[in-house]
Chains A and B, each alone.
Chain A
Amino acid sequence: MMNTKKRGKNKYSTTIISSVLLILFFIYFLFFSNADWSLFKEQFLNFEKMEGRYYIFISPFFLVLKISFFSCFFASLIGLCFAVIRNYNFKILDMLITSYVVLFRSIPAMVLVVLVYFALPFVGLNLPSTNSVIMSLSLLFGAYTTEIFRSGINSVDKLQIEASKSLGMNSLKTMRFIILPQAMRVVIPPLTTVLIDVLKTTSIAYVVGVPELIARARQMEGVIGSVTPLIFVSILYFLIILPVVILSSRLEKRSRKWSKA
């Protein structure tokens, strides 16, 4: 962005310095840090002990996908409905929705999951663990999607709304055919960010006994006496989330280009 000609000299020097530092860092780790590699390997990369146990992670793997898909689906539904309702400016509903958003943006996920699972039975709603996690994640991220959809709807030019009204469309039709299709374009990149967050947050579901990846890893950890299952699970998580991350940053780049154009 700045004067590129002048920066030309700096460009290489910083590159060289940073790469040399990186290499030195690795050399230090490999040779001079007295690291106990055998212990490290036994505790962390002990895949011999994992042999024949990998299939145990199949159903939790899908369970994580299931929880995050449904949470994301319901969160988007909540967000869409609330954002559309807010667009009509009913005072009381507005206030209710705003307080919902404020409240659920303030509660740590860990706490909400525990409360939904353990406290709701007292008011007559006894959910099994998976559903209670889906419910708490939906509520939690519904607060974010409400904001996202609202900004999407607001991003549509007001002139268009007036134009569609003058064409004789009622407000519902305007919403359905004019506003929402355009809002979607703005909304999709931040929604993928929500998907990433949901995927990451599923990792706390083991607190209420959902048989998901971390829970299974912890059980196995106790039996084989090595942390390798946890490392394996973290790689799995990484593999699930990374494609979504890449997709999301691509979408963001696109949307930035659109907004500039």
Chain B
Amino acid sequence: MEELSFSDLPRIFFNMDVMEGQWSLLLSGMWVTLEIAVISIVLSTVLGLFVALIRIGEDKLLNVLLIAYLEFCRATPIVVALIVVYFGLPFLNVTFSPFASAVIVIVFVHAAYIGEAFRSGILAINNTQTEAARSLGMTKFQTLRYVIIPQAFKLVLPTLANQWTGIIKDTAICTILAITELLKAAQIISTWKANPTPLVMSTVMYLIILLPLTLTTMKLEKRRGSKN
């Protein structure tokens, strides 16, 4: 059998001939990934905030429901959730496009985590502040809007950023649906040309998107750590 050698590496993993004329597909895949990511990040953050606000209220039933929701999301692999939403729901006459299913599943799962993060952030803010704000004649909504949420947001920002990184990474799992996102585009070219170079290129693209975010997250975490 022929020996596998280090010198084969560039020919197989960095073979730019393979990529010729294929960059547009890869870039459009990256665009789709970014679209899913951005929409999911915005929606799940908003939804997470709502979840947190309901959780800090003391409605028992809603609280129990939301705890069940959180535990459910923590125990379900995204792959499984995607399959059920994408292939399962159509048989109940609820058909989402691949893009919509991806966003729905990611938002559904991550909103639970983000809600938990917001909740701990809100709870960490001193109760006396609420009382002070209320005694100044602010309504409950105003207290939340102007006093608690801005502070909580700062407090949970590192956790949030971490969660956002997670969302971008999870878009890679959506490749099991019929969306041509970054990983799927890479796989298409890769099997077409019988060469793994596109996969390597997609890794590089993922790193270009994710490295700055991770670095920022870690900086934020450090700052929070030094404050405590």
Stretch at the interface among B16-24, B54-62, B97-105: B54-62
Hey, which chain A residues are within 8 Å of B74, CB to CB? 196, 241, 245, 248-249
CB contact list, A206-238 vs B, under 8 A: 214, 227, 230-231, 233-234, 237-238
CB contact list, A1-28 vs B, under 8 A: 1-2, 4, 7, 10-11, 14-15, 18-19
Q: A15-B61, A123-B9, A214-B79 are in contact. Are A151 and B225 (CB under 8 A)?
A: yes
B225 engages A122 (CB within 8 Å): no
Hey, which chain A residues are within 8 Å of B92, CB to CB? 29, 33, 35-36, 40
Cβ of A101 under 8 Å from chain B: yes
B57 engages A7 (CB within 8 Å): yes
Cβ of B78 under 8 Å from chain A: yes
With A and B bound together, what is the CA distance between A243 and B196 in angstroms? 39
- Which of A2, A35, A230 is B93 in contact with, Cβ under 8 Å? A35
A111 engages B13 (CB within 8 Å): no
* Closest chain A CB from B207 CB (angstroms): 6
Cβ of A105 under 8 Å from chain B: yes
- DSSP majority for the A interface? helix
Contacts from A to B (Cβ < 8 Å): 1-2, 4, 7, 10-11, 14-15, 18-19, 29, 33-36, 39-40, 43-44, 101-103, 105-111, 114-115, 118-119, 121-124, 126, 147, 151, 154, 196, 199-201, 203-204, 214, 227, 230-231, 233-234, 237-238, 241-242, 245-246, 248-249
Contacts from B to A (Cβ < 8 Å): 4-6, 8-9, 12-13, 56-62, 65, 71, 74-80, 83-84, 87-88, 91-94, 123, 127, 130, 140, 165, 169, 172-173, 175, 183, 196, 199-200, 202-203, 206-207, 210-211, 213-215, 217-218, 221, 225
